[in-house]
Amino acid sequence: MGRDGRGVKSASATSIEITFMYDGVRCRERIPLKPTAANLKRAEQHRAAILYSISDGSFDYVKTFPNSTNARKFSQKTGDTRLVEQYLRQWLEEKEKQLKASSHDGYRKVVEGNLVPMFGTLLLTELTRKVIREKLKAKSVSNKTLANIQSVLRAALTDAVDEYELIDSNPIAGWTYKNKNALPTEDEVDPFTADEQTVILLNLDGQARNLVQFAFWTGMRTSELVALDWASVDFLRGIVRVTKAQTQVSGEAEVPKTAAGRRDIKLLSPALEALEAQKQHTWLKGQEIFQNPRTGERWAGDQPIRKTMWTPALKRGGVRYRFPYQTRHTYASMMLSAGEHPMWVAAQMGHADWTMIARVYGRWMPEADPYAGEKALEKFGNEGRKLIRKA
């Protein structure tokens, strides 16, 4: 009890201590209030509410004092001992039945590489927004990585609320932490210049050169290139239809994640040239377009492409290393800097709208054409002015 017998007392210049009995144990907890007369009265009322909830069996120690060491002790005593690590791994097992292999692998990497090391030893009920914010602050990563971490955690906690009823609310629902001093984004757009493209292609031959030239001039993802079959090419219309993608994790072709990902790409002349050159290697087989020359089989994913073909070519040519995915960025930057319409570029690349194109590739969009508007004026404006003059 406090000195005055009311169970509350000043603990410091900024806190008040509340004393009460719970489950046969005398508990002392601090609340962050200056010990003024009014705040001491508020603390008394808070203590009274605690005593009432204890008497009717509705008191939840973890919710009332989430940062208290007593909270963990009592939650363990009552059997609520589920750790974040345990929950996340069980959640991953369930998600494996619902997600594509590549998506599940992405979740697994975030869980094992970030969430378990950061929060694994905490009780699920101890995972508050404050705790999450402090852990994220300590991460020296880009805001994109922070967003990815939070996206997976948010999904897991939403299921903990809605599917499994383990917690009452998701502490990060509708909230995202961003660090103004974060590192630059890891996959920053860094396209290859025309000269670099030439050097890379000169340091490749056969199927490898055809694959890379085709990648530069279609903007397709590596996973899409790997899954591409001859049946997807319409030479009469000059298009290639993208309907599937394949990664090392999936082991087999999967449909794209979004409806926009299923698309027709216009085959520009360099892409058509690459296909014509590739015919001598795989056309008669009538299945995959691009093969690993070492195995004579479809590429297993982007990793063997990087290790056996891409990286050696850049080293031979003295080209600064970037991931093969930069061929996609190179395509976008070439199309936009040449003045192609952003909506067309978005459709070619499999984006639902052009907002992402503008956000990511905006610096390659040319400044306004000094003659912009002249075509509309010629078509719609001049005749109107003539009628006005006649009137």
pLDDT single digits (tens) 82-94:
789 999 999 999 8
Q: Which CATH superfamily is domain 194-364 in?
A: Intergrase catalytic core (1.10.443.10)
Residues 18 and 293: their CA atoms lie apart, in Å, by 74
Backbone angles phi, psi at 284, to 5 degrees: -65, -30
Number of H helices, E strands in the chain: 19, 8
- Distance of alpha carbon 139 from alpha carbon 125, whole angstroms: 22
Where residue 172 falls (left for φ over 0; alpha for ψ -120 to 50; beta otherwise) is: alpha
CA 91: distance to chain centroid? 19
Domain ranges of the chain: 8-77, 84-162, 194-364
For 184, list phi and psi in degrees, rounded to 5: -60, 155
| Whole-prediction pTM | 0.58
Dist CA 349 CA 144 (whole Å): 21
Q: The dihedral of CA 185, 254, 245, 102: what is its sign?
A: positive
Q: What is the pLDDT of residue 327?
A: 95
84-162: which CATH number, 3.30.70, 1.25.40, 1.10.150, 2.60.40? Answer: 1.10.150
Of 334, 339, 347, 348, residue with least CA distance to 372: 339
pLDDT at 375: 62
pLDDT < 70 positions in the chain = 1-5, 72, 75-81, 183-187, 247-261, 366-391
Count of Cβ atoms closer than 10 Å to residue 10 Cβ: 18
Residue 271 · residue 220 · CB < 8 Å: no
CA distance 59 to 368: 65
Residue-level pLDDT at 71? 73
- For residues 40 and 33, give the distance between their C-alpha atoms in angstroms, rounded to a whole number: 8
- State residue 356's pLDDT score: 79
Phi/psi of residue 140, each to 5°?
-95, 70
